[in-house]
Amino acid sequence: LQGIFVLGLPYAILHSGYSGLFLIVLAAVLCCYTGKILITCLYEENEDGQLVRVRDTYEDIANVCCRKLSPNLGGIVVNVTQVMELIMTCILYLVVSGNLLLHSFPYVPMTEKTWSVIAFITLLPCVFIKTLKIVSKLSQLCSLVHFIILFVVMTYCLTQIHQWSWAKFKLSIEFEDFLISIGVIIFSYTSQIFLPTLEGNMRKPGEFRCMLNWTHFFACVLKTTFALTAFLTWGEETKEVITDNLPSFLQTLVNLCLLTKALLSYPLPFFAATEIVYACISRGNYSNYSSPLFALGLRGSFLLLTLLMSMFIPHFALLMGLTGSITGAAMTFLLPSLFHLKLKWKKLSFSEKCADISVFILGFLCSLAGIVCSIRGLLKVFGEG
């Protein structure tokens, strides 16, 4: 919930004004809600009226909902969508790592692609990750580094408090810029892909809803505070990535912290993507596919794929935006609300049905807006080329 996207929030506030602050809160509420209803779809009541976990994954939920059309259609769609988004996320971390290394050591005569290869080499041990426990340890370190980054930026902002002015907030906004801001804000909260696995590995699954409430609450407070203090410090000069606004002596330090965060963030989506593909392949119980050597080869292939795509796909950021607008909105808003309506329709109150339908419509509009903006950006780039 506190990814690299957070560093773009002040820029989103620049283009959305006061409405951006409202969007940060609204996005937290909506993403928390869809996370809860997604997990609800994993459970059914038994004969004694007790809730029993009868499904384990997002794929299981999709298969049940689409079984009248095809037994495996829903699972295939969900798995393809998940893997696409996870791979794109991994590639983004490699691209970011190469860019950060380039700007941290400008005096070294190396290209951004070469730096990406160096970052890739440090990630080679990922092929040996077999359990979520290792990933969770790396994620803890990632969170620690992230808080260091936020602390440095916010401390500097507080030293400039004498320059703050609420007059910097816009009352009028450009519609297209506002749409981009919506995408940045909403997708800084997305975590639905990981929730079924997370809930299934909790020591006390009954506390999941409480955990989700508190994590989204604190994420919302932190995002709002960070975006507000940074924007009030730089106003109209706020850059897309707020660390670019820092003085040079702090910028290098923060860039190296960001590099560490990007590298520590990589294992989670990488592990999730390879586990999904490995589970799909080995489901046929073929002995060749269930061997440790095959799993190692699969993880190695995925690792190499992310490097090649990060180096050779032009205009990756715009393609990432296009893919994210489709897969991100689908996994976060569209599918959870649809599945919840399908599986729990008879047990839902009128207000709950209205909430699910509203979330679906909002998710569809956000996705459509993101797709249009990304395609326009791609056409503009290719037109100039």
Q: What percent of the chain has pLDDT over 90?
A: 20
Range in 115-119, 175-179, 258-262 the model is least confident about: 175-179
pLDDT digits (tens, 9 = 90+) for 148-203: 888 888 899 999 888 887 777 766 667 766 776 777 777 678 788 878 878 888 88
- Lowest-confidence range among 3-7, 126-130, 182-186, 206-210? 3-7
Please state, in angstroms and rounded to a whole number, the distance separating the CA atoms of residues 169 and 194: 36
Is the Cα torsion angle 219, 223, 224, 229 positive or negative in sign?
positive
pLDDT at residue number 57: 85
352: CB partners within 8 A, 6+ apart = none
Confidence of residue 32 (pLDDT cuts 50, 70, 90): very high
- 96-128 CB burial, b ≥16 within 10 A, e <16: bbbbbbbbbeeeeeeebeebbeebbeebeebbe
Give 223-236 as a DSSP string.
HHHHHHHHHHHHGG
Return the pLDDT at 122. Answer: 92
- Token look-up 């679906």 returns 360
Is 0.85 topped by the overall pTM? Answer: no
- Phi, psi (deg, nearest 5) at residue 241: -110, 115
pLDDT given at position 287? 45
263: exposed, middle or buried (Cβ count in 10 Å: 0-12, 13-18, 19+): buried
Per-residue pLDDT, averaged over 276-286, amounts to 71
Report the run of H or E that residue 51 belongs to, with start and end: strand 51-53
Q: What is the SS3 assignment for 195? A: helix
CATH classification at residue 276? 1.20.1740.10
Structural domain including 192 reads 5-384
Q: How is residue 70 written in tokens?
A: 């095809």
Around Cβ 347, how many Cβ atoms within 10 Å? 9
What percent of the chain is modeled with pLDDT above 70? 89
Q: How far apart are alpha carbons 189 and 220 in whole angstroms?
A: 9
Contacts of 91 (CB under 8 A, 6+ apart): 306, 309, 310, 313, 316, 320
Q: What is the pLDDT of residue 290?
A: 57
Using pLDDT thresholds of 50, 70 and 90, give the confidence band for residue 213.
very high
Task: Residue 242: name the closest of 257, 256, 264, 226 by CA.
Answer: 226
The domain tally of the chain equals: 1
Identify the pLDDT of residue 215: 92
Query: For residue 353, what pLDDT is reported?
Result: 94
Residue 208, pLDDT score: 92
The answer, yes or no, to whether residue 314 has pLDDT greater than 70, is: no
Look-up: residue for tokens 């409430």?
213
Evaluate whether 78 touches 332 at the Cβ level (below 8 Å): no
Beta bridge partners of 52: 44
**Residues contacting 172, CB < 8 A, separation 6+:** 17
Task: Tell me which of 349 and 311 has the higher pLDDT.
Answer: 349
Instruction: Give the pLDDT band of residue 106 (cuts 50, 70, 90).
Output: confident
Torsion of CA 211, 214, 219, 225, to 10 degrees: -170
Residues 329-367: tens digit of each pLDDT: 888 888 899 999 999 998 999 999 999 999 999 888 877
